[in-house]
Structure 1
Amino acid sequence: MGVGGKFWDLLRPYARQEGFDYLTNKRVAVDLSFWIVQHETAVKGFALKPHLRLTFFRTINLFSKFGAYPVFVVDGTPSPLKSQARISRFFRSSGIDNSSLPVIKDGVSVERNKQFCEWVRECVELLELLGIPVVKAKGEAEALCAQLNSEGYVDACITPDSDAFLFGAKCVIKGIKPNSREPFECYHMSDIEAGLGLKRKHLIAISLLVGNDYDSGGVLGIGVDKALRIVREFSEDEILERLQDIGKGWKPAVLGGIKSVDDGEESLSEMKKRSPHCSRCGHPGSKRTHFKSSCEHCGCDSGCTKKPLGFSCECSFCSKDRDLKEQKKTDNWWIKVCDKIALWPEFPNRKIIELYLSDSFTAEVGSSMSWEAPDTEMLVDFMVFKLHWDPSYVRKMLLPMLSTIYLREWAINKTGNPLFCDKYEFHSIKCIKTRYGHQSFVIRWRTPISTSGFTQGKPEASIVILEEELVEDEESVDPLDGLNEPQVQKDDNGNCFLLTDERIELVQSAFPVETEHFLHEKELGESKKKNISEEPATPRPTTMGVQRSITDFYRSAKAAAAAQSIGTGESSRASAEKKRAATSNSSSNLSKSVRRRLLFG
């Protein structure tokens, strides 16, 4: 929950929108309980034990795709204050009167339910098999995340609890979505201080007024906006003491001090008597005076102009009048707020303040901050037992994490083991792949073994062969945050390659020469395509051996027949014309009587 009200809405304008590359090589503290609660309710029914499945996939995504070094933090024994607030919140949401609620004594706390504790235990066992460090807090997980961040052990916290700022966090990531192109919200305390003018104790004061995990109610009738106005009246060093004074019934002076309402009314009446204003133009002086000698403020030769809508006189008397009214309004508001806070019992709660300002949430901070290689065989057995996955599937989905570890080690020490997983060697970069707006290299790993261990019994025809450049569908978001499965490819010579997606900067660090060669070849290929597209098109020679479509064939045959018939008709007409011409020529030589006999004979 964190701070009550709309506290995140207050901070949201000062959030930075960060992408995949922001967490590269950064250490981040993750509130494990947040992951479990969030996804157990969101994807329940999609898979068996979703808390284990999502922890497995999200951890590998965070480690390999984002390039981060995660540290998971689990809750310890909750504070009695939080136990009391949790029970009170339950009674209030159930419509039960909590006035007779028993008070939990100091040192006594209420643990979470057994089912949730079992989920946490399973996730911790999974993370330890993955080689990810897990730290247990004395109290709240977000408090330890904030302490690790403030003391420099991690660079950021991943938690939705806004009270991480109250515990001293410097950088808070509200949440990440591995399979989405949308950036995630990243909050820096320095941005909040610069934008809102609030520091850590100011935020603690706001939480005391609007409610928090240890006092779910806060002061009745005070929201985030009103609390912000209150705490801005004091500096960080005095804000908590002033709240304590208000809780005792005192009214600290603000904005020049609280003035008496009677004094304000008396001063206002005296000002009105001393400074008459024209009802037409609104400037000092009477309307009759302005009509006789004009108004020096209007600038007219005679009389004055009618004042516009919303006119406000800027003379000294009117300015003092407005200031006095505003002061009166502020004083009345401040008196009401102080009286409302003073009615609240035991405000402010000193135990809550001490809890937020404490910096001892674990005994040995940093003792478990080490990342190890996954215990593959034990992990396979664990996932097979818990989720009933096929062993080959577990090994395949673990490959992105193992390849990231290999590339990191090879980038630092190139004299180590040249084989990835003791089986594969780096062969080449196949292409650049774009997924969710993020580019990565598709790497070929040479393998001499059969691909049956990585296809889960699927036929070879179903294996996806990547083209020269692949852009996957970005609209199909996996609700379970699954991984992009490694693929297997065979060339014409029978060589077998394992294909994995790797971050570009990591491959550049591990294999700079091969990366430079690939980028150079890619640039040459693009320039050739560009040159070919710019060349003018030349007509292609026709040959008799080119096969035509059946439509073209019949169209050509009909055209030839039509041309032949037209040619035959023209030749017959030409011969007839010649015959008539010959007849006419021959008949013109005969006498008129002979031609008559031939015609009528």
Structure 2
Amino acid sequence: MGVGGNFWDLLKPYARQEGFDFLRNKRVAVDLSYWIVQHETAIKGFARKPHLRLTFFRTINLFSKFGAYPVFVVDGTPSPLKSQARAVRFFRASGLDLSSFPVVEEGVSVKRNSRFVKYVEECVELLELLGMPVLKAKGEAEALCAQLNREGVVDACITADSDAFLFGAQCIIKRLQINSKEPFECYHISDIEAGLGLTRNHLIAISLLVGSDHDLSGVVGIGIDTALRFVKCFSEDEILNRLHEIGRGGALVIQGSIDSEVLRSSDENLPKTKSSHCSHCGHPGSKISHLKFSCEYCGSTAGQSCKQKFVGFKCDCLSCDLDKKEKERKKKENWQINVCRKIALEKNFPNDEIIQMYLSNHHGTDDDPCIEWASPKTEMLVDYLTYQQHWEPSYIRQRMLPMLSTIYLRDMASSPTNDLLYGHYEFHSIQRVKIRLGLQFYVVKWKKAVNALSDSMSAIPEEPDILQGSEEPDESNDLLEEPDVPVVCINDGCCFLSTDEDMELVRNAFPEKVDQFLKEKELKERKSRKKKSSLRSEGTPKNSESSTSQSLQLSITEFYRSSKVLCENTLEENDLGASEGKRKEPSTRLSKSARRRLLFD
């Protein structure tokens, strides 16, 4: 949830839709609880243990398809404030009377749901087998994600908790759409500061006014629009101090309003009240004085009546302008006093414990976390998912291959060796360039090495063989966001795999293969151009005419010209009223079906 009062709707206009390559070679902190909660309901009933399935496929997609380095963060012990707020939310959702709400002792945390804790533990075990780093927060996972982002350890956070901005996050990915040209919905704090004029302290003040996960109620009678307008009256450095002053019953009239200062510093010699205006034209002066002398605004002369004012006329003289500004100032001051009175009625506002929690820089169990990505423990992972998900081992190995090929190419780019992909496949060639979602990839062909052991783990069977015997044959749908499946083929007794790989990654790992592919591609294009030019130059007029006619799209009447002409001639002979030399049309007395039969018989 995060900040209440539809806080995401306030930030929605400043969202960016980032492209496919946004996270390429970047580190990203993932709030694991967000993934579990988000998709538990979405695919529940469609798959066995959806939290494990989503974690498995999304991690592979994030690592291989998007080229990111994910760091997973799990929740620690919830704060007493959030525990109490969660209990209140449960009472409200259940329709129970809050008067029967049990009193929670101060400083005591309520344990998280045991079933949810089990889900998290299973996902953590899966991620560790995949070789992904997992960090545990002291309290909330989004707080540690934000701290890692603020300190530059990661480049973005994947979470839906808006209070991550209050913890100091710089870039939040709220929505992740795998199969899209713009899969990331991102929010940057720089865009929010430029568009709304709100800094981190302003956002904290808004959360105190409208409520958050740690204080559901906030200030009674203050919504998101009122809170936004109120906090913008103060600078970043003074907003939290002013809330303390108002909450402790300090000065109710806000002295920091820029408009008020400007108005109060205006020339004191200017008239304070609105002068009299003519009832006929609406300009300064009386009707009698305008008739006796003149009206400088209407341009009338002495003895001549001034112009009649139109409906909705508003005078823009200095006196009216000052009077208008004075009314606006008083209206704003009255509104500010009303907001301050609502704040002053709240008990223990603002809560210093919440503010200190948001501004803290120690949200992890380890102040210097060790973040490393290891190679997956393939066989242990196969055994784990076979037990938990009842999948076929070949199915698991095939779905893991995009991740293994990405790790292999990265290792070959940093330190080339004679190792094989998955211990059995060697880089053979680049087949072609593939465009997917507007981005180019190399289709890489892997050949099974001759000296590879031909045991059960070496074979990556084709898709039909994988799904045979599976207990969940209908799990391949868009909701589950499965990675790309490698294509398997056998040619001349050799087994080949085809995978889609990042072009830059392939070039760094095998520059000679890429150069060879580009040269062959250029040679083929040259031969194709030469062949086309020779056909144009050596072609006879007859050939050119035939080629031109073949390139034109003929109408349907061209295919049945002889039948149509014969039909028309027959109709012309029977039409006695038609004159010679004129084109004869089929008789309109025949029905449409009869004319169609005559045309095509």
TM-score, shorter chain, exceeding 0.5: yes
Structure 1 segment 178-257 matched on structure 2, within 5 A: 178-250=178-250, 251-254=252-255, 255=257
Residues 49-106 of structure 1: per-residue CA shift (max 9 Å, x gap): 1110110000000001111110100001100100000011111222222234233224
Structure 1 segment 564-579 matched on structure 2, within 5 A: none
Residues 140-167 of structure 1: per-residue CA shift (max 9 Å, x gap): 0001111111122111111000000111
Cross-structure match for 1:39: 39
Q: Which amino acid aligns with 2:508?
A: S
SS at match of 1:455: coil
Contact 1:268 1:321 in 2 (8 A): no
SS at match of 1:454: coil
SS at match of 2:41: helix
Cα pair distance change 1:330/1:375, threshold 3 Å: same
CA distance in 2, matches of 1:509, 1:307: 79
Moved more, 35-44 or 309-318: 309-318
Counterpart selection for 2:388 from 380, 386, 389 = 386
Q: Which amino acid aligns with 1:514?
A: K
Say what the alpha-carbon RMSD is for the aligned residues. 3.0
CA distance in 2, matches of 1:394, 1:29: 25
Moved more, 342-351 or 9-18: 9-18
Contact 2:172 2:187 in 1 (8 A): yes
Cross-structure match for 1:435: 436
Cross-structure match for 1:397: 399
Cross-structure match for 1:596: none
Cα pair distance change 1:217/1:526, threshold 3 Å: farther
Counterpart selection for 2:413 from 407, 411, 414 = 411
User: What are structure 1's unaligned runs of at least 5 residues?
Assistant: 260-266, 463-475, 543-554, 559-601
Residues 369-396 of structure 1: per-residue CA shift (max 9 Å, x gap): 0000000010000010001111111111
Structure 1 segment 322-361 matched on structure 2, within 5 A: 322-361=324-363
SS at match of 1:220: coil
CA distance in 1, matches of 2:497, 2:234: 63
Q: Does residue 161 in structure 1 map to residue 161 in structure 2?
A: yes
CA distance in 2, matches of 1:399, 1:183: 22
SS at match of 2:407: helix
Cα pair distance change 1:428/1:299, threshold 3 Å: farther
Structure 1 segment 518-537 matched on structure 2, within 5 A: 518-523=517-522, 525=524
SS at match of 2:22: helix
Q: CA deviation at 1:420?
A: 1.7
Q: CA deviation at 1:257?
A: 9.1
Cα pair distance change 1:258/1:520, threshold 3 Å: same
Q: Which amino acid aligns with 1:409?
A: D
Moved more, 61-70 or 505-514: 505-514
CA distance in 1, matches of 2:444, 2:183: 26
Cross-structure match for 2:555: none
Moved more, 530-539 or 319-328: 530-539
Q: CA deviation at 1:434?
A: 2.6
Contact 2:404 2:422 in 1 (8 A): yes
CA distance in 1, matches of 2:504, 2:510: 10
SS at match of 1:173: strand
Moved more, 96-105 or 217-226: 96-105
Cα pair distance change 1:519/1:10, threshold 3 Å: farther
Which of the pair has more CA radius of gyration?
Answer: 1
Counterpart selection for 2:369 from 364, 367, 370 = 367
SS at match of 1:169: coil
Contact 1:397 1:483 in 2 (8 A): yes
Contact 1:407 1:506 in 2 (8 A): yes
Cross-structure match for 2:278: 278
Q: Which amino acid aligns with 1:75?
A: D
Q: Which amino acid aligns with 2:87?
A: I
Percentage of identical aligned residues: 61
Cα pair distance change 1:527/1:327, threshold 3 Å: farther
Q: CA deviation at 1:497?
A: 1.5
CA distance in 2, matches of 1:194, 1:509: 39
Contact 2:78 2:139 in 1 (8 A): yes
Q: Which amino acid aligns with 2:402?
A: P
CA distance in 1, matches of 2:311, 2:409: 72
Q: Which amino acid aligns with 1:435?
A: R
CA distance in 2, matches of 1:141, 1:47: 26
Contact 1:245 1:252 in 2 (8 A): no
Q: Which amino acid aligns with 1:101?
A: F
Q: Does residue 507 in structure 1 map to residue 509 in structure 2?
A: no
CA distance in 1, matches of 2:297, 2:531: 77
Counterpart selection for 2:459 from 453, 461, 469 = 453
CA distance in 2, matches of 1:284, 1:421: 91
Q: CA deviation at 1:177?
A: 1.7
CA distance in 2, matches of 1:17, 1:77: 34
Cross-structure match for 1:563: none
Contact 1:392 1:456 in 2 (8 A): no
Q: CA deviation at 1:529?
A: 5.6
CA distance in 1, matches of 2:527, 2:465: 37
Q: Which amino acid aligns with 1:384?
A: T
Contact 1:48 1:387 in 2 (8 A): yes
Contact 1:16 1:186 in 2 (8 A): yes
CA distance in 2, matches of 1:223, 1:87: 23
Q: CA deviation at 1:284?
A: 1.6
CA distance in 2, matches of 1:283, 1:352: 56
Residues 158-212 of structure 1: per-residue CA shift (max 9 Å, x gap): 1000000111111111121222233422122222222222111111110000010
Moved more, 193-202 or 508-517: 508-517
Cross-structure match for 2:143: 143
Structure 1 segment 31-180 matched on structure 2, within 5 A: 31-180=31-180
Cα pair distance change 1:326/1:427, threshold 3 Å: same
Cross-structure match for 2:577: none
Q: CA deviation at 1:483?
A: 1.3
SS at match of 1:23: coil
Moved more, 188-197 or 157-166: 188-197
Residues 424-477 of structure 1: per-residue CA shift (max 9 Å, x gap): 1111111222333333211101115789932258479x9xxxxxxxxxxxxx97
CA distance in 2, matches of 1:456, 1:429: 20
Q: CA deviation at 1:523?
A: 5.0
CA distance in 2, matches of 1:380, 1:326: 70
Moved more, 282-291 or 185-194: 282-291
CA distance in 2, matches of 1:172, 1:308: 54
User: What are structure 2's unaligned runs of at least 5 residues?
Assistant: 262-268, 469-475, 547-559, 564-601
Q: CA deviation at 1:276?
A: 2.0
Q: Which amino acid aligns with 1:187?
A: Y
Structure 1 segment 456-471 matched on structure 2, within 5 A: 458=464
Cα pair distance change 1:282/1:136, threshold 3 Å: same
Cross-structure match for 1:420: 421
Residues 478-535 of structure 1: per-residue CA shift (max 9 Å, x gap): 11111111111234x4443110111122112222332244345445555666777787
**Normalised TM-score (structure 2):** 0.80
Cross-structure match for 1:8: 8
SS at match of 1:434: strand
SS at match of 2:30: strand
CA distance in 1, matches of 2:309, 2:17: 49
SS at match of 1:360: coil
Cross-structure match for 1:25: 25
Cα pair distance change 1:517/1:279, threshold 3 Å: farther
CA distance in 2, matches of 1:518, 1:44: 46
Q: CA deviation at 1:308?
A: 4.5
Q: Does residue 312 in structure 1 map to residue 311 in structure 2?
A: no
Q: CA deviation at 1:322?
A: 0.1
Contact 1:159 1:172 in 2 (8 A): yes
